Structures are given as structure tokens and as C-alpha cells.
Amino acid sequence: MAKKVIKPVLSAAEAVKCIKPGMSVIIGGFNYGGIPYTLVDALVESGVGELTLIANDTAYEDVGHGKLVANGQVKKVVASHVGLNKKTGQFYMEGKLELELCPQGTFVERIRAGGFGLGGILTPTGVGTVVEEGKQVLEIDGKKYLLELPLRANVALIRAYQADRMGNLTYFGTNRNFNPIMATAADYVVAEVDSVLEVGELDPNEIVTPGILIDALVVKGDNYYANRT
């Protein structure tokens, strides 16, 4: 379905209503940086559960989407690192959470494949390790590669810096991280931003994510970390 040309600017609570129990959600961020804190808090508040969370890490148990895990709303995590959130490891060991760990460079390429129409990617990362288990190994010009499959989600919650009303996005500092790639790999994409400008106010040379990928915009709230990132 075609997305609207002029994007709705929603409250976080309205924006996360598109997320239903059992859905997969891809969430931007790396450690403290680039997490859509306001959206994530609204999702925590909604209590929607049985989610598959696709994110680089699971933050901290009381920070960002780490709270989704701690709150028991997540049945499966796909991530590269979960060591900073004690609840992720604990729930996994207790059998309450499915965990798929993926090398970080592979993780981002799988999302890119999901968003870019590729059937998978070939990477040398993980050859000869447990990451290889159950995967197809291809030899090309004498070098071994693992076939890694695409990742997509029902909904992406991303964080950008400025948007215009058409959903074009810029990014700031290390908040950028996975966000531009994740914007390509979900059926419905919500971007949390510092501010929303009129169409034409962003320099086309500085726009990183074209608005055609975006469904809705949310202006960041006054969460402690939203304010500082």
C-alpha cells in the first residue's frame, strides 16, 4: 500500500498502536545511542507482548528497549550483544526467551538484505565457529563464506535527527548507527525525531533516508535519554 506523501505526526502512543501481539519489531540503536526512546517507552506502556525484537543489543534492563525484555513483552531476541541487560541472559537461561545471536556486521547486512530485496548475503565472518552451525558454506575463489539470510520486521521504530513533513530524515553523531538501514526493512516504519520541518527546509544533499520509506513521525519526548541523545 502506498505511503502518504505528507506523513502524519503522531503521539508515541498513537504510533505504536500498529504493533500487535506476536509481531516482529526492529528497533534502532547501539548502546545508549540512536534508540527511539519515546516510541519504545510507549510500547512498554502499551504492554503488547509476544514480540520478536530485532535490535543490535538489548540496551540495559531499565533503559530503552531493554525495558521491553525486562517487562516480559519479548518472546524472541535477534541481536549481536545482550550482555549489558541482565534480564536477557537470565530469561534465556530460564528458557523464557529465545535468543538468536548474530555477529554485528552480519546482523546489519541481513537487515540490509531484507530491505534491499536480496535473498541473503555471503560473509566470511563466523566461518569455523559456532555461528557456522546449520548454515550453508560456499567456497568462492578458494575462500569460505557463510550464507546468511535476510531479516525483516512488521514494524521498524527508528531514531533520526530532523525530518521534514515528507519523512525525509537526517541523523546526528553516533545516533545514526543502524537506523538508516532499518528504515528499509519493515512493512511500517515510524521515525522519532528532534524536530519536524516543512517540506523544502531540509537540504536534499543532507538527507540520508528518503521519506518514501517512512510511514509516520513522532517528535521525541522528555525521557531522560531522549533528551540527551
Nearer to other proteins, 94 or 198 (CB): 94
Tell which phi-psi region holds residue 65, choosing left (phi > 0), alpha (psi between -120 and 50) or beta.
alpha
Q: Please name the amino acid found at residue 150.
A: P
Q: Which amino acid is at 40?
A: V
DSSP for 202-214, written as a single string = S-TTT--B-GGG-
- 37 near other proteins (CB under 8 A): no
Cβ atoms of 179 and 158 closer than 8 Å = yes
93 binds other proteins (CB under 8 A): yes
- Under the binding rule (CB under 8 A), the answer on residue 122 touching other proteins is no
Cα distance between residue 120 and residue 76, in whole Å:
21
* Interacting positions 164-223 with other proteins (CB under 8 A): 171-181, 208
Place of cell 531540509: 202
66 touching other proteins, by CB under 8 A: no
Query: Whose Cβ is closer to other proteins: residue 11's or residue 227's?
Result: 227
Stretch that binds other proteins, among 17-25, 27-35, 66-74, 215-223 (CB under 8 A): 27-35
Cα torsion angle, 37, 39, 42, 48, sign: negative
Which residue lies nearer to other proteins by CB, 1 or 130?
130
Decide if 92 contacts 108 (C-beta within 8 A): no
Phi then psi for 126, rounded to 5 degrees? 95, -10
The three cell numbers locating residue 86: 541482565
**Min CB(46)–other proteins separation in Å:** 26
If one asks whether residue 135 binds other proteins (CB under 8 A), the answer comes out as: no
What minimum distance in Å lies between the beta carbon of 34 and other proteins? Answer: 8
- 71 close to 97: Cβ distance less than 8 angstroms: no
| Beta carbon of residue 61, minimum distance to other proteins (angstroms, whole number) | 13
Shortest distance (Å) from residue 131 CB to other proteins: 7
Q: Is 38 in the site for other proteins (CB under 8 A)?
A: no
Binding other proteins (rule: CB under 8 A), the pick from 11, 129, 136, 195 is 129
Helix (H) or strand (E) holding 74: strand 74-79
Q: Closest approach of Cβ 47 to other proteins, in Å?
A: 27
Residues that bind other proteins (CB under 8 A): 30-33, 56-57, 79-84, 89-90, 92-93, 99, 101, 103-106, 108-109, 112, 123-131, 171-181, 208, 225, 228-229
